[in-house]
Chain A
Amino acid sequence: MTQRFPKDGRFGEFGGKYIPETLVPAIEELEENYLKIKNDSSFKKELNYYLTEYAGRPTPLYYAKNLTEKLGGAKIYLKREDLLHGGAHKINNTLGQALLAKRMKKRRIIAETGAGQHGVATAMACACLGLTSEVYMGYKDTIRQKLNVYRMNLLGSKVHPVKSGSQTLKDAINEAIRDWITNVKDTYYLLGSAVGPHPYPVMVRDFQSVIGKEIIQQMKKINKKTPDTVIACVGGGSNAIGTFYPLVDSDAEIIGVEAAGKGLKTEYHSATLSEGSKGVLHGMMTYLLQDKEGQIKETHSISAGLDYPGVGPEHAFLKDANRVIYRSATDKEVIDAFLLLTRTEGIIPALESSHAIAEAIKIAKSKPKSETIVITLSGRGDKDVEVVEEYVKNIKNSI
């Protein structure tokens, strides 16, 4: 089931590299260098140092006792990626790639960001390692996640608001790719999710797999076995694949949760795996939300980090192989989950992560108390408090 390093960059029929020819040498250079550092002990040691001393790994696997009792079913554990430096899992990947970029002698780093968490994590890794960074962010996202724009600026990163297309993550990726084509010789593109042309989906998965590996170790200590169920939210799919990949060959039930926005029956969602069809975008063959002629659709989610019409190719593969179940949560369910976790456990989750919590709320009761559910809490919700306040206010007003 697992594909460690698919040579042609394919997970079944998904993945590949559909890119302008100018980027081919850059992608080949990246693949070659990634293969070199992947099993290099000095690289591993260096990355491990930064993950531990700078980012704060390992993160706790916290038993959410109050939430468990409230839901009255399986025991719920939270994998606390929200406690990492920067407030999300994104730093696992940015430290890895920034160290790689440094070894490749590329000093100019570019990135895209949706919620701004990847942009912040890029800016932090670059500040820490002495690299310069520029971040592309959809104009709409710069407004709804403006706290993160300030943070990136403070960290010394230049933020480019992107006004083309839907002005969200998809367009930020387009613009980052255009920059890369233009400055291909000295620029490293630090992609923030398990998407894009090969080798990005594999590389980002590997850097994020620390999440799943720690879950396995920690759960063994707590319960002497792997979790019965794991749940993670899926935008591009990096925190999810990092959680799932080490568990794919176990018998754990694995659930990815996409953004159902205002409902799967409406035009306002980002549930790519649930509702999409096969196609090619951002260098990869995967599931996409597209119209009947292959034009990419505008998406919607209350969480900027899940507002994306594509998904990582390995998720597409795991869906078709029936190994992972992909479900979705609506904006409303997400807000309810956000508020519930905040009040029962005193933990403010990111809206992205709240999708995973919403799924746990739906299924926990039906599972025996002897079972365990691990939710990857991919990030903290400070960036989202304004959006939540606004949403709650609007609901009150409409009643």
Chain B
Amino acid sequence: MSKTSRIQSKFLELDSKNEKALIAYTMVGYPNEKDTLTVIRGLIKGGADIIELGFPFSDPLADGLVIQNASTVSLDRGTNLAQFFRLVKKIRQESDIPLVLMTYTNILYHQNYEKFFKEIRDAGIDGVITPDMTIEESKEYLRAARKHSVDTIFLVSPNTDRKRLEKIIKMTTGFLYLVAVYGTTGVQNKIQQYTIDALKTTKKAANHKIPVGIGFGISTPEDAKRFIQQGADAVIVGSALIKLVEKTAPAKLENAVVSFTKKLKNTTKRG
């Protein structure tokens, strides 16, 4: 990609401040259309560096119960792509924060990759994460993404071997997403040694050419801090935020999100 993307610029900017990135995930249409924006405002005010917008899919097979439930609620409320584009437009009126779309292959494929990448680029989306898109199946997906300058953020897992890791890195732009656990989103274990090992291996393979973000199961500032100390360039928090939204009354939503996001963000600043 010739031009520096919003995501790249963000990492460069953080680097110059000796900071790491907080990437915050939320589900479009959850808890409803209006409060999705409330949550996003809270994330921005709290200091999130990049926002991941989950677009609901009927069969989210990489997701655990929390995000599954949010998808179901969102779809039952009638969330559709028109609403997604409305939301992105509103965010773009208020902020220049990098925005990443996370959804499943069928949503993109069904729209036609070429058409969809153009539309999301025009709307102001900077990157996509598609957890069921493998590099083997990605030829046309990549072609369309490159043509419209949308970053393609691929996932790697603790069991990804070195050779494959290098192949995936070649096709990844923006940042590389390391899945922290054997499991779906939202699974919370004590941080395992295999995760720390995987982070080190991944960072080494990435060789400073691309930032490495780590996600799945990061639910507390303590988790986030540990991963930053171990060399992660970004921590990605999703289910924990959705849970917070789930249990907070609408009137208190923005403040609750701001305060939790601040705590997470603090861990990414070297002190």
A residues touching B (Cβ–Cβ < 8 Å)?
Answer: 8, 16-22, 24-25, 164-165, 170-171, 174, 177-178, 181-185, 278-283, 285, 288, 290, 293-296
Contact = CB atoms under 8 A, between A and B. Distances in A.
B170 interface: no
Contact of B184 (A165, A182, A278): A182
Contacts of A285: 109, 137
Interface string B52-96: 000001111110100010001001000011000000000000000
A8 B110 contact: no
A280 B109 contact: yes
Contact of A20 (B62, B72, B168): B62
Interface in B13-68: 57-62, 64, 68
Given A24-B160, A165-B59, A283-B132, A293 B110 contact: yes
A279 B110 contact: yes
Which 8 interchain pairs have the tightest Cβ spacing?
A294-B110, A22-B157, A182-B183, A296-B58, A295-B58, A280-B105, A280-B106, A21-B157
A181 B109 contact: no
Given A18-B132, A22-B179, A185-B159, 13 more contacts: A8-B136, A16-B137, A20-B155, A22-B157, A22-B158, A22-B159, A24-B160, A25-B161, A290-B110, A293-B107, A294-B57, A294-B106, A295-B58
A283 B105 CA distance: 10
Contacts of A290: 106, 110
15 contacts: A18-B132, A20-B132, A21-B160, A24-B164, A25-B160, A174-B61, A181-B182, A183-B182, A279-B106, A280-B109, A280-B132, A281-B59, A285-B137, A293-B81, A295-B75
A278 B111 CA distance: 11
Nearest to A25: B159
Nearest to B133: A18
B187 interface: yes
Contact of A177 (B57, B61, B109, B137): B61
Contacts of B75: 295
Interface in B164-216: 164, 168, 179, 182-184, 187
Contacts of B68: 164
B134 interface: yes
A18 B184 contact: no
Contacts of B111: 293-294
A294 B61 contact: no
Contacts of B187: 182
A178 B159 contact: no
Contacts of B161: 25
B226 to A, nearest CB: 21
Most chain B CB atoms below 10 A, which of A21, A279, A280: A21
Nearest to B57: A295
A181 to B, nearest CB: 6
A250 to B, nearest CB: 33
A212 to B, nearest CB: 30
Provide the main secondary structure of the chain A interface: mixed
A182 B109 contact: no
Contacts of A17: 134, 136-137
Contacts of A24: 134, 157, 160, 164
Nearest to A164: B68
Contacts of A22: 157-159, 179, 182
B134 A18 contact: yes
A244 B179 CA distance: 41
Contacts of B156: 21
A177 B184 CA distance: 10
A22 B61 CA distance: 12
A177 B72 CA distance: 18
Contacts of B61: 20, 174, 177-178, 282
Nearest to B177: A21
A294 B55 CA distance: 12
B113 to A, nearest CB: 11
A20 B131 contact: yes
Contacts of A18: 105, 132-134, 137
B132 A170 contact: no
A24 B182 CA distance: 12
Nearest to A18: B132
Contacts of A170: 59
Contacts of A295: 57-58, 75
A293 B154 CA distance: 23
A111 to B, nearest CB: 16
B15 to A, nearest CB: 26
Contact of B155 (A21, A165, A293): A21
B155 to A, nearest CB: 5
Nearest to B165: A21
Most chain A CB atoms below 10 A, which of B136, B160, B179, B187: B136
A282 B159 CA distance: 21
Nearest to A17: B134
B236 to A, nearest CB: 15
A178 B186 CA distance: 12
Nearest to B154: A21
Contacts of B137: 16-18, 285
A178 B136 contact: no
B203 to A, nearest CB: 17
Contact of B62 (A16, A181, A280, A293): A181
B54 to A, nearest CB: 14
A203 B137 CA distance: 20
B131 to A, nearest CB: 5
Contacts of B81: 293
A288 B104 CA distance: 15
A59 B59 CA distance: 38
A282 B59 CA distance: 9
